[in-house]
Amino acid sequence: MTRLQPLDPETATGKTKELFNAVQGKLGAVPNMMRTMANSPAVLEGYLNLSGALSHGALNARTGELLALAIGESNSCDYCLSAHSYIGEKLLKTDPAVIEAARFGNSEDSKTKTILHFAKTLVSKNGLVNNEDVDNAKSAGITEGEIAEIVAHVALNVLTNYFNNTANTEIDFPKVTALAN
C-alpha cells in the first residue's frame, strides 16, 4: 500500500497542473512517481529541472538509464528499477542483458563500466570517495566534467530511490525487483 498518495492530473491546479501538463506533453502520461512527488510542487519541479539539465550533459541518455539502474539496485528501489528497465529496453532499445549487467555496475564497454563502478562507489561510500577512487576514474578516461555529471546522476537517483522507497509508490511499469529484496 502506498504511503503517500499520488495526485490526479485531471483535478490538479496551479503549479501542479502546469508541471503535469509539461510531463504529459513530453511523456504522453504522468507516471505515479511524478504524481506522488507533486504533493510538493517544489519537489517535482526540482526533480524535473535536474533531470532536464542532465539530459543535455556529456553523458548520453543510455548512460543515464544505466546509471539509474546501478543506483536503483544499490538502493533497492523497485520503482526505479522497473521504470528504467522499461525505458532502457523499450524506448532506448537497450539489450536486456546490458540492462541486467548495469544493475551490478557491469558493462562490456570499459568506459561505461568505469562510470557505473564510480557511481556505485559513490553510493556505497555515501559520497565520501577518496583520491584513489577519483584517480581510477580519470585514468580510465573519465573527464572531470563527466565525474561531475556522475555525481549529479547519483544525487538525482538517490532522490528518486529514497522518495519511492518512502512513498512506496505504486509501480506503473512492468515490475522489476531489486535483488536485495
**pLDDT per residue as tens digits for the range 8-48:** 999 999 999 999 999 999 999 999 999 999 999 999 999 99
Separation of first and last alpha carbons in the chain: 17
DSSP code of 180?
A: T
Q: What is the mean pLDDT of residues 89-97?
A: 95
pLDDT of 180 higher than 70: no
The C-alpha cell at 101 is: 549487467
Local confidence band at 181 (pLDDT 50, 70, 90 cut-offs): low
Residue 54 is predicted with a pLDDT of 98
Closest by Cα among 91, 31, 82, 72 to 158: 72
Query: What is the rounded CA–CA span in Å between residue 128 and residue 116?
Result: 16
The C-alpha cell at 72 is: 536503483
The C-alpha cell at 148 is: 561531475
Q: What is the pTM of this model?
A: 0.96
What does the radius of gyration of the chain's CA atoms come to, in whole angstroms? 16
Beta-carbon contacts of 2 under 8 Å, excluding residues fewer than 6 positions away, are: 36, 167, 168, 169, 170
Give the model confidence (pLDDT) of 46-83 as tens digits: 999 999 999 999 999 999 999 999 999 999 999 999 99
Query: What is the rounded CA–CA span in Å between residue 70 and residue 7?
Result: 29
Closest by Cα among 158, 137, 164 to 70: 158
Domains of the chain (ranges; CATH) run 14-54 (no CATH), 61-167 (1.20.1290.10)
Given a contact cutoff of 8 angstroms between Cβ atoms, the answer to whether 149 and 58 are in contact is: yes
